[in-house]
Structure 1
Amino acid sequence: MHRIGGEEVLKHRLWLKTTIMVVKQLALQGSSFRGHDESDDSLNPENVLAWIGFAAKLNDQINSVVLRNAPGNAKYTSPSIQKEILGIITNRVRCKIHEEIGDSCFSILVDEAGREQMSIILRYVSSSGIVTERFFALNSGADTSAETLKQAICDVLSQYDLQIEKLRGQGYDGASNMSGQFNGIKALFLRECPYAYFVHCFAHRLQLALITSAKVCDPIWDFFSILDCIINVVKASPKRTRELQAIHKKDLDGMLDVGEIQSGQGANQITSLKCSGPTRWGSQYHSILSIINMFNATCVVLEDLCRSKEGEQRAQAKGASKNIKTFEFVFNLHLMKEIMDITDFLCQAFQQESVDIVAAVGFVSMAKVKLQKLRDE
């Protein structure tokens, strides 16, 4: 059997250490690893190879043992090696989280997404008395039934010796398989651990309340439909977006010249209209802010489109241009801005990891007072 000498061992350690550090840094930054062209002569290789090459340029010792100078059968850069390194790092992070929890009690926050993916977050009080949330796992399951998801959670926790008996809280959205009174994950855990109290995600409840309120109020629901239509027409092509930004820049320059607005670091940025999302009501707030900020530029772009030779575009632009200038739309635009100033603050407060249920209830009471004051005025 061929024995590797001490110098060879050091070389292997150096190029493996280089790969580990690159993988660790890319994971920390949330950057992609792979690329579409991973050949040695690629002008734009995958990030792992690119960063190893960058390290080699800065250090002759590293350069002598990596990439082209590494043995063909031991480059330590293959996808399987990258995944193995990531797996080891993941395991160490989870073990560290387990050490932080120790024998203390903890809560779980679980959310499911498309393709049967489930994220698991642990919430606990650290030894220094600080409420801490840690992302713990992302699991893929065969289905989204309560029994399957519950078993997947138990498997992850037991793998790191986190006992279900220590569970003191559950946080999910309002889906029946998660929060069902009799057969949801909530109910299944309560049968085993009666002290695992369930709290419906406050941010999700706020989203549901806002959506339901808008749906039962026809003028407001119509307003958001028109708002989405206007934004979609203006953002339908990069050309229109560039035109919008150019007009907005001209407007900002004019307001700066007359002192209507003040300059400063990070102020008066040239952006674009923000599209809203169907499930995140907070995105509606950003859509409202963007169209208020770029109202004149939006009107100008729509007027230009009304003079377009293309029939379909002209028809859409005429409808949007007519709607954006109505008193009802402008009134609702500013009314919803005032209302959502309050609800967005509440939504952001709910998503702070340090907030507890007492503070959350306090935020709700504060928001109700502000909304009532706005109604009285």
Structure 2
Amino acid sequence: MIKLIASYNDEVVKAVLENALYNARYTSHQIQKEILHILSNKVRKHICEKIRNSKFCIVVDKARDESKREQMALVLRFVDIHGFIQERFLDLVHVKDTISLTLKQELCGILSRHGLDVSNIRGQGYDGASNMKGEWNGLQALFLKDCPYAYYIHCFAHRLQLALVAASREVIPVHQFFSKLTFIVNIICSSSKRHDESHAAKKDEIVHLLEIDELETGKGANQIGTLRRAGDTRWISHFSSVCSLINMYGETLTVLQKFIVDGSTYSQRGDADSAYNTLTSFEFVLILHLIKDIMGITDILCQALQKQSQDIVNAVQLVHSTKTLIQSMRDDRWEELLKNVKSFCEQHDILIPDLIASYVARQGRSRHQKDHITVEHYFRVEIFLVIIDKQLQELNSRFNDQAMDLLSLSSTLMPKDAYKNFDIAKISTLVDSYYPEDFTEQEKINLPFQLQHFILDACQHP
């Protein structure tokens, strides 16, 4: 390309390729890096000049690069001189560890190098993924000590359901449940033959139920589904996987029973037998229905938070309703869940344990148990209540009352629908409760009157 360009101009020939000055060839990797460094610094300087001494928010995320080095990315959000919200990527730094104090030192170092005052931070946001949860929570607290108005708001775009699943998997029986669920789905779906057999069994069941008028016919009704895998990075896959197993439960048992007898190798027969024993366990069925009910409640919120057009007010209301429904489930729906599980077990000939019998934690170790509890107590307290408490704890840590109140009050500033939500009293509350030191006493007195002028002018302005 250089030769082609040089062939058209004698002056260019004198300054390129073998005729070029050594330091002007720009083919050295070191020189290229220096040029990129200069350009990136100019971009950063331009971003920081726009912020100056204004308030800003930090958004931080952590990821590994191809060399497995921990990298921390920093994004700044601020309002420019024209009143528009800007979001700009500022820097990417290598961190030796993810201890909260180290992260804070790195972030403060970046801000200091670019002339940004930490005390001007007015918000911080992280995705709160389970592998960083403790560290990020510590980071929140450390920044709040230096700047009390650096309120934390959970990143709404984060896949919330994955975090909720990770929280529930802290309960050992639930972690084992998801491992066994993946094992069962893999056994059925890894073979085209077994997959087809499950479809055929489901088709026969639908035909039978239609003959005895247990199902209604109609367009799109009585579709034959398939077992779905729960993907670690696909946020709705866990709920779909649980629902698909309940829908295909009887057919899965039928295929496993056949495979236990007709499997071509001892390992296939053994795996099928292990999967069958797991499926016909009362504890597995209980957790299967419990997870379905919890995810059914949280799934609407998870989907809503993925929408870029999501209204903040609606999101806040969904968070409140989700918490309320899960708390209501904890308080009032154990008997209903137990009734449904028993009915499901009777339908599929699964042995229901004696719920009033003493529960033995480990076979042969009952004499070491200090507290003698019943089987029902174990299922209700150690599984049902603990799982729900983990979900509530996760939701409360991500969407605490302070953050929800702050979002709700801030929504009154939205210009949508000709400032439909504009509320002078709520804006004054926002100033008094959340940012009192950012305003002088005289500014607080003048604010309601200024807002009256503003809303009148804004609504009439073309």
* Shorter-normalised TM range: 0.5 to 0.7
Q: In the alignment, what sits opposite 1:140?
A: 94
CA distance in 2, matches of 1:106, 1:178: 19
Unaligned runs of 5+ in 2: 13-25, 211-216, 337-462
Contact 2:169 2:175 in 1 (8 A): yes
Alignment of 1:87-106 (within 5 A): 104-106=54-56
**DSSP-derived class of the 2:122 partner:** strand
Q: State the 1:372 CA deviation.
A: 5.0
Conserved? CA contact 1:273–1:290, under 8 Å: yes
Alignment of 1:1-377 (within 5 A): 4=6, 104-113=54-63, 115-124=69-78, 137-157=91-111, 162-172=116-126, 173=128, 175-180=133-138, 185-199=139-153, 218=173, 223-234=177-188, 237=190, 240=191, 242-243=192-193, 246=196, 259=218, 261=220, 273-277=228-232, 283-292=237-246, 295=249, 298-299=252-253, 301-306=255-260, 307-325=262-280, 329-330=284-285, 332-349=287-304, 362-372=317-327, 375-376=332-333
How far did residue 90 of structure 1 move?
Answer: 7.3
The more displaced of 245-254 and 166-175 is 245-254
8 A Cα contact 2:199 2:226, kept in partner: no
Cα distance between partner residues in 2 of 1:273 and 1:83: 47
Q: Mark the runs of 5 or more structure 1 residues left unpaired by the alignment.
A: 11-75
Aligned partners of 1:244 and 1:272 also within 8 Å: no
Residue 247 of structure 1: how far off its partner (Å): 5.2
Q: CA deviation at 1:106?
A: 2.3
- Are the equivalent residues in 2 in contact too, given 1:243–1:301 (CA < 8 A)? no
Measured in 2, the distance between the counterparts of 1:292 and 1:80 equals 60
Shift of 1:101: 5.9
Q: Is the CA contact 2:203–2:224 (under 8 Å) kept in the aligned structure 1? A: no
Change over 3 Å in CA distance of 1:334–1:129 after alignment to 2: farther
C-alpha displacement at 1:323, in angstroms?
3.2
SS of match in other structure, 2:72: strand
Relative to structure 1, is the Cα distance of residues 169 and 270 closer, same or farther in structure 2, using a 3 angstrom cutoff?
same
User: Aligned partners of 2:29 and 2:199: how far apart in 1?
Assistant: 46
**Aligned-residue offset at 1:125:** 5.4
**2:452 aligns to what?**
none
CA distance in 2, matches of 1:118, 1:313: 45
The 1:317–1:119 alpha-carbon spacing in structure 2 relative to 1, beyond 3 Å, is farther
CA drift of 1:260 comes to: 6.6
* Distance (whole Å) between structure 2 residues aligned to residue 362 and residue 245 of structure 1: 42
The code of the aligned residue for 1:139 comes to: V
Distance 2:45 2:225 in 1: 45
- Indicate the percent of aligned positions where both proteins have the same amino acid: 39
Sort the Cα spacing of 1:93 and 1:299 in 2 relative to 1 into closer, same or farther, 3 A: farther
Post-superposition offset of 1:340: 0.4
The residue that corresponds to 1:53 in the other structure is none
**Cα gap change, 1:176/1:335 in structure 2, threshold over 3 Å: closer, same or farther?**
closer
Structure having the higher Rg = 2
Q: Residue 295 of structure 2 aligns to a residue in which SS?
A: helix
Q: Measured at CA, do residues 196 and 372 of structure 1 come closer, stay the same or move farther in structure 2, by a change above 3 Å?
A: closer
**Secondary structure in 1 matching 2:326:** helix
* Partner Cα distance (1:253, 1:127) in 2: 65
| Alpha-carbon shift at residue 165 of structure 1 (Å) | 3.6
**Structure 1 residues 7 and 290, CA, compared in 2 at 3 Å: closer, same or farther?**
farther
Distance in structure 2 (CA, Å) of the matches to 1:296 and 1:130: 57
Shift of 1:171: 3.0
Q: 1:110 to 1:273 in 2, by over 3 A?
A: same
Higher mean C-alpha deviation, range 295-304 or range 246-255: 246-255
| In 2: Cα distance, 1:251 partner to 1:80 partner | 66
Q: Which amino acid letter does the alignment assign opposite residue 120 of structure 1?
A: L
Verify the 8 A CA contact 1:105 1:167 in the aligned structure 2.
yes
How many Å separate the matches in 1 of 2:46 and 2:278? 56
CA distance in 2, matches of 1:157, 1:164: 7
Please tell me the residue identity of whatever aligns with 2:143.
Answer: F
Other-structure match for 1:35 = none
Q: Is the 8 A contact 2:74 2:92 kept in 1?
A: yes
Give CA deviations for 1:100-122 in whole Å, capped at 9, x if unaligned: 86764222232334542223343
Deviation of residue 318 (structure 1)?
A: 1.3
**Other structure's SS at 1:261 match:** coil
- The alignment partner of 2:263 has SS state of coil
Distance in 1, matches of 2:117 and 2:302, equals 32
Contact 1:276 1:287 in 2 (8 A): no
- Once residues 128 and 107 of structure 1 are traced to their aligned partners in structure 2, the CA distance between those partners, rounded to angstroms, is 18
SS in 2 for 1:197: coil
User: Against the structure 1 CA distance between its residues 271 and 231, is the aligned structure 2 distance closer, same or farther, given a 3 Å change threshold?
Assistant: closer
Contact 1:244 1:297 in 2 (8 A): no
Deviation at 1:168, TM superposition (A): 0.8
Contact preservation (8 Å) 1:108, 1:171: yes
Separation in structure 2 between the aligned mates of residue 261 and residue 369 of structure 1, nearest angstrom? 34
Distance 2:249 2:240 in 1: 14
Shift of 1:226: 3.1
Q: Check conservation: 2:278, 2:284, Cα contact below 8 A.
A: yes
**Does the Cα contact within 8 Å between 2:78 and 2:85 map onto a contact in 1?**
yes
Q: Cα gap change, 1:192/1:223 in structure 2, threshold over 3 Å: closer, same or farther? A: closer
